[in-house]
């Protein structure tokens, strides 16, 4: 096992040698034509690993473990990759680095210098593989950069990253305790903790981590159907009356997608009207329930959104729950985006009533900064997930194992193999404590309020809705000077509709920042700013506003 | 940016210092009570990183990036994690290491020494986090160990591992080109290459990587339904006649699960009889189609399995395709397990006719050794995935972006966010070439034939089916001496049924190897041996047989 020589003390670098890469090479993103050098300059970054002098140009994947004598090249190769990754991590947090280096699809497909996406029959050297790794990062997008505001998921949590590296190395599957004992237990304990925060008595209930909020929401519809019409599992939807689902017109499109996939049909997903802040109007729900019943449909399921995608709106859960109780409907809360606020004593009141839900979607990979993917579906009634989905495959869920097979949770899922999404989250919770998540959430909401205060009365800005945002979403139009005096009307609307896409395109071309935009209902394109990255400061908010004005002033 | 001092040349270790951990500490899986030492012994493993002297007991997650002065602790922490991981990698390939260190759920829940799964409000030190990382691996299962045969997915590919570390670091999402330009293109090119191997003209068609074979199979049923009854998307299953699906009694349970989830009902998933090798009998398919039609049902979809889970059987695709053409049915090939054989000139004939399928599931994370998860759904008809699933969410799929938005592929999926599963696979393909995958597959099949030849006439063994296995699955009973003279009958069957679970339990307790078992139909528990790990050699096969005999001889 000991194969790295007898001497743990590194000799001077000009005798043993440390791989040095000069900066310009790194900027070019390749090693091509350069062998490992023994030079000793004052760039010490790459000297941090005691690498042997490894010429990767003559090494191939077949030389790595499990190859004979593969241990040393394996470790050397992994260290080289880690060097690329740690440099990427450093730069991600460095505001002098661009968020992205944009290229059009045809440009990347034609092949950038030395970076060819095409696959071939013959292997590439490990040197080229390392170049490919560098270039894949170089032409990507730094979603952890403090000025990347484009998505609800952003940031690069170091503990979460370490957790994900470990998960990859463990390379196992969640379906049985047999092959994932530690991860299965972590999942159970973490889900219980999440249920306690929801407020279900004793944290009782059920749940799973699923591949994203859309699938978690799909689970909620499936189990609601199973609860009220269990015979559909065997007989299909034709055994049931025409079932309808209710969700806000501001809710995530995954509810509609689930309606289509599960055989309800999108026409049977009834959209609820909202107030000007994007919150469901409970009276509209009740009216539409009554209307559906009069049409001979059977109302089944109501989705209340806890933090909508665009406005960050929180539906009034308690009022919706009253109606669900009255009509005996399943109440789901889609807290994919807003669920994290349960961790904040200051903000959790926005989810008041969530304890009355039958199921909850909560994505730690959004507001809580856990690396992608990490989404939980939580269910108040124990056993119903298994009832809904189990098929009792004998080859996987043998009843005659030597351990307590109630820990084999795979049959509750619609997946067979299931990626280990729990470890990074568990590790982050250990490392930060509940209080760490709370501080993170409070800080992000404070930053959003800072932005809101900054622009609400600023010349050239118009808020999409009035009042302090409920979540970190701040929705606004930027009006270039040329539009400011223009009277409201079609021409102004059409021009304004084109402003955000133009600014966004210029942002991406210059690589300085990224923020989302979209139309909503009859509202033309507006910016949706969100904060979920722990690296963001007020200066980054200021930078975004400066950048919008710099790029947009002449439009 | 330069913060590690001016001197790239490491001074002697007793002045700068290298973190040393002695082996016994590592075996105990914890650092507790030990500070970083400046000692210099002849254990050089941990000296490979030029770590600074970092006392993690006083550091917390909040001290890492983006904290001020967080860069150094961040890099130190990540290097410490990498040290844990590379040690794990080394040991995984070391046959003197156990496959697992088994503990019952209650033991792990009660807490092993220093390893407490419970979450708390307050943060743990980074020292404890590192202990948690070590312990999480210690009490897990080494799925990459050369003697881990328990699952269709096994092995630890170093290139794939590096790819997964990079994917975690990039921490992005597949839904738009905007935030995953490189990965989106890699996915497109790789799927095209896979379609070429299937034999669809010009590699044309469509596809996605999905979270596992069960979801890929679910996609196939969804798009078949959309192809024949597009109105179901809007109107639901009640708008359609009673639709039926056909799949072998040996097929994966995910077809049935999809039938339940999508609203067909499990009773409308009709199981087809197989021959003694587990292959669908085409005449039975035709008879059941006719029967279903006579009952007023509408046959929609046939699943042919390319490599069944237990027997490794390949259904006769061409004969099934003839019947599908005759009755105008969707033909899906579930090649989750066997699809990899397309890469082998020697073995791809087992999938002859796959080019006639309308859709194919193919999991590179199984036979091709790609880390979990990596599963493709491939579709012959372009555009149908989008037609089936798109909901055109304005906040994500803006039509007025500055680039060609046909590269925004997220709306084809039932997921919204989608994990980047492509990079590791693309990188492995680059690093091995098609020929590398071919060699891997041929080798695994050779090893299975070695096992088959070894035990087919060996005393105490009985094959579950006759003849050379089609895939790497070798299914057999081990008969302890006490059973060998016993006449066939209920008593012998009952005893034999208990043999495999008992041996398996002892294997797990001793931690020496793991192999799966299950009953099938009226056959009592038998072992299912599979090989997909590149690290396996004939000696590991010999070891397994020795171990079965050692543990089973006195039963």
Which range among A12-26, B39-53, B176-190 shows the weakest confidence by mean pLDDT? A12-26
The answer to whether A222 and B261 are in contact (CB under 8 A) is: yes
The CA distance from A292 to B113, in Å, is 59
| Token pair belonging to B539 | 């000696």
Which pLDDT belongs to residue A374? 98
DSSP state of A414: S
Within an 8 Å CB–CB cutoff, is residue B2 touching chain A? yes
> At A534, is the pLDDT very low, low, confident or very high (cuts 50, 70, 90)?
very high
Question: What are the residues whose beta carbons fall under 8 Å from the beta carbon of A26, sequence distance 6 or more?
Answer: A87, A134
CA atoms of B118 and B128, how far apart (whole Å)? 13
pLDDT of residue A23: 34
Q: Does A517 touch chain B (CB under 8 A)?
A: yes
Is residue A177 very low, low, confident or very high in pLDDT (cuts 50, 70, 90)?
A: very high
| φ/ψ of residue A303, rounded to 5 | -100, 125
pLDDT averaged over chain B? 91
Which residues lie closer than 8 Å to A81 by C-beta, 6 or more apart?
A130, A133, B162, B165, B166
Please give the biggest Cα pair distance in chain A.
87
Task: Check pLDDT > 60 for residue A47.
Answer: no
Residue A300 to residue A328: CA distance in whole angstroms: 8
Paired sense of beta strands B514-520 and B148-149, if any: parallel
Q: Locate A258 and state its tokens.
A: 């689930």
Q: Kindly state whether B7 is in contact with chain A, defined as any CB-CB distance less than 8 angstroms.
A: yes
CB atoms within 10 A of CB A517: 25
Query: What is the C-alpha radius of gyration for chain A, rounded to an integer number of angstroms?
Result: 27
Query: 3-state SS of A116-155?
Result: CCCCCCCCCCHHHHHHHHHHHHHCCECCCCCCEECCCCCC
Name A301's bridge partners: A245, A330
Q: Within A407-480, where are the H helices? A: 422-455
Burial class (CB in 10 A: 0-12, 13-18, 19+), A229: middle
Instruction: Please report which helix (H) or strand (E) contains residue B209, including its range.
Output: strand B206-210
Provide the pairing of β-strand B375-379 with B461-463: unpaired
The two three-digit tokens of residue B517, written as one number: 């078992």
Cα A12–chain centre separation: 45
Would the pLDDT of A99 be above 90? yes
pLDDT at A347 over 70: yes
Q: CA-to-CA distance for B431 and A526, rounded, in angstroms?
A: 44
Tokens of B181: 């330009």
DSSP class of residue A306?
B
Which of A61, A104, A235 faces B159 most closely, judged by CB atoms?
Answer: A61
pLDDT of residue A113: 85
Q: How do residues A113-166 score in pLDDT, each as one tens digit?
A: 889 999 999 999 999 999 999 999 999 999 999 999 999 999 999 999 999 999
B526 contacts B547 by C-beta, under 8 angstroms: no
- Calculated CA dihedral for residues B212, B214, B219, B221, nearest 10 degrees: 160
A263: Cβ–Cβ under 8 A, 6 or more apart, which residues? A236, A237, B232, B236, B237, B262, B263, B264
pLDDT 10s digits, B434-453: 999 999 999 999 999 999 99
Q: Which residue has the higher pLDDT, B260 or B35?
A: B260
Q: What tokens appear for A137 in the block?
A: 């990062």
- Using CB atoms, which residue from A129, A143, A419 is nearest to B211? A419
Can you give the residue ranges of every domain in chain B?
A: 23-142, 182-426
What pLDDT does residue B7 have? 35
Residue B115 C-alpha from the chain's centroid: 28
Q: How many Å is the Cα radius of gyration of chain B?
A: 27
pLDDT at B228: 98
Helix (H) / strand (E) containing A333: strand A330-335
pLDDT at A112: 85
Region label for A504, one of left (φ > 0), alpha (ψ between -120 and 50) or beta (otherwise) = alpha
pLDDT of residue B43: 36
What are the phi and psi torsion angles at A248 (to 5°)?
Answer: -70, 150
Task: Establish if A287 touches chain B: CB-CB under 8 angstroms.
Answer: no
Number of alpha carbons in the 13 Å side-chain half-sphere of residue A131: 22
With an 8 Å Cβ cutoff, is A18 touching chain B? yes
At A314, is the pLDDT very low, low, confident or very high (cuts 50, 70, 90)? Answer: very high
- By mean pLDDT, which of A3-17, B85-99, B248-262, B540-554 is the weakest? A3-17
Q: How far apart are CA B504 and CA B328, in angstroms?
A: 46
Q: Which of A65, A238, A434 sits opposite B237 (nearest CB)?
A: A238
Tokens standing for B311? 């027997």
Q: Which of B108, B401, B430 has the CB atom closest to A124's CB atom? A: B430
Task: Report the SS3 class of residue A215.
Answer: helix
% of chain A with per-residue pLDDT over 70: 91
- pLDDT at residue A26 in the model: 37
Burial class (CB in 10 A: 0-12, 13-18, 19+), A33: exposed
pLDDT of residue A52: 66
Instruction: Give CA–CA dist A203/A199, Å, rounded.
Output: 7
Q: What are phi and psi of A68, to 5 degrees?
A: -60, 135
The whole-angstrom separation of Cα B172 and Cα B438 is 31
Enumerate the residues of chain A whose CB falls inside 8 A of the CB of residue B108: 181-182, 185
Locate the chain A residue with the closest alpha carbon to B412: A257
> Chain B contact for A230, CB < 8 A?
no
Q: Which residues, in sequence order, are CB contacts of A243 under 8 Å at separation 6+?
A: A225, A229, A237, A264, A268, A297, A298, A299, A300, A301
Distances (CA, A) of A193 to A82, A180, A343, A376: 34, 20, 11, 12
Q: Which of B82, B301, B523, B551 to mutate to test the interface with A (most CBs of A within 10 A)?
A: B82
CB contacts under 8 A, A 139-178 vs B, are 139-141, 143-144, 146, 150-151, 153, 156, 158-159, 161-166, 168-173, 177-178
Confidence category of residue B167, pLDDT binned at 50, 70, 90: very high
Backbone angles phi, psi at A224, to 5 degrees: -60, -45
Whether B261 and A257 lie within 8 Å, measured CB to CB? no
Mean pLDDT of A464-481: 97
Quickly list H helices, B344-421.
Answer: 384-389
| Spatial contact of A73 and A54, defined as CB atoms under 8 Å apart | yes
CA A47-B32-A364 angle, 5° bins: 75
d(CA B296, CA B358): 25
- The Cα A186–Cα A530 span in angstroms is 30
The encoded tokens of residue A226 equal 């199973």
**What's the CATH code, domain B182-426?**
3.40.640.10
Structure confidence at residue A394 (pLDDT): 84
Q: What angle do CA B390, A289, A253 make, to 5 degrees?
A: 20
Q: Are A1 and B95 spatial neighbours (Cβ–Cβ below 8 Å)?
A: no
> Residue B450: what pLDDT?
98
Spatial contact of A418 and B212, defined as CB atoms under 8 Å apart: yes
Instruction: Give CA–CA dist A118/A462, Å, rounded.
Output: 47
Position A252 confidence tier, pLDDT thresholds 50, 70, 90: very high
Residues paired with A360 in a beta bridge: A333, A378
Q: Which of residues 443-472 of A touch B (CB under 8 A)?
A: none
Taking 3-state DSSP, the helix, strand and coil percentages for chain B, each rounded to the nearest 5, stand at 45, 15, 40
Average pLDDT of the segment spanning A327-347: 98
What DSSP character marks residue A533? -
Binned at pLDDT 50, 70 and 90, residue A50 comes out as low
B236 to chain A nearest CA, in Å?
4
Mean pLDDT value across residues B375-383: 97
CB pairs A-B closer than 8 Å: 604
pLDDT tens digit sequence for A489-500: 999 999 999 999
Res. B112: pLDDT tops 90: no
Question: Cβ(A277)–Cβ(A311) under 8 Å?
Answer: yes
- Whether the pLDDT of residue B80 is over 80: the answer is yes
Tell me the ipTM for this assembly. Answer: 0.92
In this structure, are residues B141 and B148 in contact, taking their beta carbons and an 8 Å threshold? yes
Region B81-104 average pLDDT: 97
Residue B349 contacts residue B376 (beta carbons within 8 Å): no
Sorted by sequence, the CB contacts under 8 Å of residue B26 that are 6+ apart come out as B87, B134
Distance CA B190, CA A118 (A): 8
Mean pLDDT confidence for A448-459 = 98
Residue A380: exposure state from Cβ atoms within 10 A (0-12, 13-18, ≥19): buried
* Whether pLDDT at A4 is above 70: no
Residue B389 has pLDDT above 90, yes or no: yes
Q: Nearest-CA residue of chain B relative to A13?
A: B9
**CA pair distance A439, A418, nearest whole angstrom:** 31
- B44 touches B87 (CB < 8 A): no
Helices and strands, counts by H and E, chain A: 16, 12
Residue B18 has pLDDT above 70, yes or no: no
Residue at token pair 């003390």: A9
Mean predicted lDDT score pLDDT of chain A: 91
- Read off the DSSP letter of residue A62: G
Q: What pLDDT, on a 0 to 100 scale, did the predictor assign at position B392?
A: 87
Q: Tell which residue, B204, B218, B443, has the closest CA to residue B340.
A: B443
Q: Which two tokens stand for residue B100?
A: 């697992």
């Amino acid at each position: 096992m000991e194969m790295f020589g007898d001497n743990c003390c590194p000799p001077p670098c000009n005798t043993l040698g440390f791989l040095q890469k000069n900066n310009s090479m790194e900027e070019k993103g390749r090693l091509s034509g350069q062998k490992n050098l023994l030079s000793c300059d004052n760039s010490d970054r790459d000297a941090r690993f005691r690498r042997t002098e490894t010429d990767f140009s003559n090494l191939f994947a077949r030389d790595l473990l499990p190859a004979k004598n593969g241990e040393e090249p394996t470790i050397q190769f992994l260290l080289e990759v880690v060097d690329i990754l740690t440099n990427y991590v450093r730069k991600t947090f460095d505001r002098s680095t661009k968020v992205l280096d944009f290229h059009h699809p045809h440009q990347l497909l034609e092949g950038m210098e030395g970076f060819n996406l095409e696959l071939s029959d013959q292997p590439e050297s490990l040197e080229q593989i390392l170049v490919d790794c560098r270039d894949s990062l170089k032409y990507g997008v730094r979603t952890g950069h403090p000025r990347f505001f484009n998505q609800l998921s952003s940031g690069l949590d170091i503990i979460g990253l370490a957790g994900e590296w470990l998960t990859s190395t463990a390379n196992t599957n969640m379906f049985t305790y047999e092959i994932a004992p530690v991860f299965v237990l972590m999942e159970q304990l973490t889900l219980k903790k999440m249920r306690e925060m929801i407020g279900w008595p004793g944290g009782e209930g059920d749940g799973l981590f699923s591949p994203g909020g859309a699938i978690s929401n799909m689970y909620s519809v499936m189990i609601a159907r199973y609860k009220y019409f269990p015979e559909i599992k065997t007989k299909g939807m034709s055994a049931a009356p025409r079932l309808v689902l209710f969700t806000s017109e501001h809710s995530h499109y995954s509810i509609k997608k689930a309606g289509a996939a599960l055989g309800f049909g999108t026409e049977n997903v009834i959209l609820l009207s909202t107030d000007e802040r994007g919150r469901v109007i409970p009276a509209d729900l009740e009216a539409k329930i009554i209307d559906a019943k009069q049409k001979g449909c059977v109302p089944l399921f109501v989705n209340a959104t806890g933090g909508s995608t665009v406005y960050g709106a929180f539906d009034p859960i308690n009022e919706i729950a009253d109606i669900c109780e009255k009509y005996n409907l399943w109440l789901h809360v889609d807290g994919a985006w807003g669920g994290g606020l349960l961790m904040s004593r200051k903000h959790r009141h926005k989810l008041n009533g969530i304890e009355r839900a039958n199921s909850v979607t909560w994505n730690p990979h959004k507001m809580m900064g856990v690396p992608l993917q990490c989404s939980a579906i939580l269910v108040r009634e124990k056993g119903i997930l298994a009832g809904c989905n189990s098929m009792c495959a004998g080859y996987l869920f043998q009843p005659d194992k030597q351990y307590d097979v109630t820990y084999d949770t795979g049959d509750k899922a619609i997946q067979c193999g299931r990626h280990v999404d729990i470890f990074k989250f568990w590790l982050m919770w250990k490392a930060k404590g509940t209080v760490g998540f709370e501080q993170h959430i409070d800080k992000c909401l404070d930053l959003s309020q800072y932005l809101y205060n900054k622009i609400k009365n600023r010349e050239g800005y118009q808020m999409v809705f009035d009042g302090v945002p409920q979540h970190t979403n701040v929705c606004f139009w930027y009006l270039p000077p040329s539009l400011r005096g223009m009277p409201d009307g079609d021409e102004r609307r059409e021009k304004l509709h084109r402003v955000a896409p133009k600014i966004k395109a210029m942002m991406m071309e210059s690589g300085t920042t990224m923020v989302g935009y979209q139309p909503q209902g009859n509202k033309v394109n507006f910016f949706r700013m969100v904060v979920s990255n722990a690296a963001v400061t007020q200066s980054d908010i200021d930078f975004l506003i400066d950048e919008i004005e710099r790029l947009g002033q002449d439009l």
